[in-house]
Structure 1
Amino acid sequence: MPDTEVHGPIDYVLLEFTGNKLTGRAADELVSLVERGIVHVYDVLVVGKEADGSIYMVDLAESSGQAGEFAVLDGARTGILAEDDLREVADAMQPGTLAALIVYENTWAIPFVAAALESGGQMIAGGRIPAQDVMEVLDAMEALESTS
């Protein structure tokens, strides 16, 4: 095992929701991933963008219900996300939406990373293909196969 503490890859995801309230199962599923040890959530930032383009942060601890089930992630604040991240999130958002920016560690990968380091390996490149892109390609391939 390496002398330094081993971590899994850290990713972020920005989820945009229409309206001014987070609803649905996304937060429940994220909590399930944490409980099963698949990911560790470092930071959660919920941002709203009004129809006029003005932005605001949603306090996850506030009882207004605007954060929906994401309120359970209130304690996820390590400081990885900074004020300039708020502006970048807002720039990516459509007016009249709420977005949740989630920074998480892929804890499932820690044993793999440790084994690679022990074997003298080091990551020299990495990347991520967005889920939407994968689904679009698979749908297109399926459509092509069905016409053959």
Structure 2
Amino acid sequence: MPDADVHGPIDYVLLEFTGNKMTGRAAEELVNLVDRGIVHVYDVMIVGKQADGTAYAVDLAEASGQAGGFADLSGARSGILADDDLAQAASAMEPGTLAALIVYENTWAIPFVAAAMESGGQMIAGGRIPAEDVMEALEALESLEPMS
């Protein structure tokens, strides 16, 4: 069992939903990842941006259908996300949308991180390639393959 002080990579995502509507499917899959021990959710913040650009937070504890299933994660409040994160998230959003700002730990990586640390390894660089960029690159490579 890895040391309790070892953590996996901590990431955040800002998922924007058009039409000011969340269906619940994304939240359902996030809960599934938590239940399977793949990720640990530290914080979830639902941010809305009105047509006039005014930002607002949706209280998950009191949210009805507007939170699209993210209300199930209302207890995910570590304090990592603060009020200024709402403004930063809103600045990236289009007017008339809702977004879920999620901070999560990749718990699947904890044994790997522990093993690397135990053998003297240390992370000196890291990054993330957006899924859309990977899909575009793979499609471009596929189009270069000779047809048989």
Gaps of 5+ in 2: none
Does residue 7 of structure 1 match 2:7? Answer: yes
What residue identity is the alignment partner of 1:92? A
In the other structure, the counterpart of 2:28 is 28
Percent identity over the alignment? 79
Does residue 88 of structure 1 match 2:88? Answer: yes
Matches within 5 A, 1:37-116: 37-116=37-116
CA shift, 1:75, in A, is 0.5
Instruction: Using structure 1 for the length normalisation, give the TM-score.
Output: 0.93
Alignment length (residue pairs): 148
In structure 2, how many angstroms separate the alpha carbons of the residues matched to 1:20 and 1:117?
A: 44
CA shift, 1:64, in A, is 2.9
Q: Kindly report structure 1 stretches of 4+ aligned residues shifted beyond 3 Å.
A: 1-4
Instruction: Using structure 2 for the length normalisation, give the TM-score.
Output: 0.93
Q: 1:71 to 1:4 in 2, by over 3 A?
A: closer
Gaps of 5+ in 1: none
Q: Once superposed, what is the RMSD of the aligned Cα atoms?
A: 1.9
Structure 1 residues 59-78: Cα deviation after superposition (integer angstroms, max 9, x where no partner):
11224310011110111110
In the other structure, the counterpart of 1:127 is 127
